[in-house]
Structure 1
Amino acid sequence: MPRNSIHFAKSFGIYAVLTGLILGLAFPSDANSETADRRNSNANSPVLTVAEAKAVRNAIESRFFVDSRLKDIGSVRLTIHIKLARDGQIVGNPDVQVTGGSERAQKSLSDVGLRAVRRAAPFTMLPKDKYDAWKEVVLNFDTSALTQ
């Protein structure tokens, strides 16, 4: 595996998964009023630990391979919204939003990100008693680490 892919995977995983899980769980993009009310009214709602978020990061990171020939890959921002079942399987199709970079870079990163998430599933490392904390996960990916 090329060194750039390893460097990117580590930088990408650390930033994207931890930021995505922590911020994404706090601010889901399609939260309806029922979900928001339930979260606000339950002060004892479960929260993922750093170790649990790191386990998800490692699962996805090990399956993320980028085409290093893409020149403008560092300007692409990728957000993947995943809904998970209690057994850690992906429910439906993940929603992908891509901004920045060329159309080719966007398409490539979108495909690579989806493939990595699908290959990492099921996410059996997530604690079943904290299902409410991880039933919807938003992963935010900043690809600028490739240009450093």
Structure 2
Amino acid sequence: MQRDSVHFAKSFGICAMLAGLILGLAFPLDANAETADRRNGANAPILSKAEITAVVYSIERQFIVDSRLKDIGSVRLTIHIKLARDGQIVGNPNVQVIGGSERAQKSLADAGLRAVRRAAPFTMLPKDKYDVWKEVVFNFDTSALTQ
């Protein structure tokens, strides 16, 4: 189980870094996701690679996946959260899961929510860039779990 968690952590980290480099947004973790300010055309500052790495690492440390599930590598998990200025999660995160069995979907959704909630508050995020990170979409790639 530990080995699968390490593979997932590496996959998650790589996904996060690639997303940051692709659009220069560096946050949220998926290149297709945008912050509210970017969608409205605002010229907001971006987060640095170190700031993103700190967030990703804080979540990776908390992510524990049940590796006994055979089809967990085909599940795609997206968690959309809103954050207060102090880095606390505001309200209930919006979770979307596709692929895999119902059991794998539930297991991964629960693990992802636990990891994000345990990692909060995200105090490593700079308060002067709050408009960039007030809404975050995490996209979890689980394909490395089955390799």
TM-score, normalised to structure 1's length? 0.85
Which residue is equivalent to 1:66?
65
Which residue is equivalent to 2:12?
12
Q: Is the radius of gyration larger for structure 1 or structure 2?
A: 1
The offset of 1:142, in angstroms, is 1.2
Which residue is equivalent to 2:34?
27
Q: Answer 1 or 2: higher relative contact order, Cα 8 Å, separation at least 6.
A: 1
Superposed CA deviations along residues 8-32 of structure 1, whole A, max 9, x for unmatched, are 222223315763625468535xx5x
The offset of 1:3, in angstroms, is 1.8
10 and 123 in structure 1: CA distance in 2 versus 1, 3 angstrom threshold: same
Which residue is equivalent to 1:89?
88
144 and 26 in structure 1: CA distance in 2 versus 1, 3 angstrom threshold: closer
Corresponding letter in the other structure for 1:125: M
22 and 62 in structure 1: CA distance in 2 versus 1, 3 angstrom threshold: closer
**2 CA distance for matches of 1:73 and 1:3?**
14
- Secondary structure (helix, strand or coil) at the match of 1:21 reads coil
**2 CA distance for matches of 1:51 and 1:65?**
23
Instruction: Show structure 2 runs of 5+ residues with no match.
Output: 20-26
Query: RMSD over aligned Cα, in angstroms?
Result: 2.2
User: Higher helix proportion, which one?
Assistant: 1
2:146 is the alignment partner of 1:147 = yes
Total equivalences in the alignment: 140
Identity of paired residues, percent?
A: 72
**2 CA distance for matches of 1:111 and 1:22?**
19
Superposed CA deviations along residues 64-94 of structure 1, whole A, max 9, x for unmatched, are 0000100000100000001000000000010
Which residue is equivalent to 2:2?
2
105 and 80 in structure 1: CA distance in 2 versus 1, 3 angstrom threshold: same
- Secondary structure (helix, strand or coil) at the match of 1:58 reads helix
23 and 72 in structure 1: CA distance in 2 versus 1, 3 angstrom threshold: closer
* Alpha carbons 1:17, 1:56 under 8 Å: kept: no
Superposed CA deviations along residues 81-127 of structure 1, whole A, max 9, x for unmatched, are 01000000000010000000000000000000000000000000000
Instruction: Show structure 1 runs of 5+ residues with no match.
Output: none
* Alpha carbons 1:25, 1:133 under 8 Å: kept: no
66 and 21 in structure 1: CA distance in 2 versus 1, 3 angstrom threshold: same
TM-score, normalised to structure 2's length? 0.86
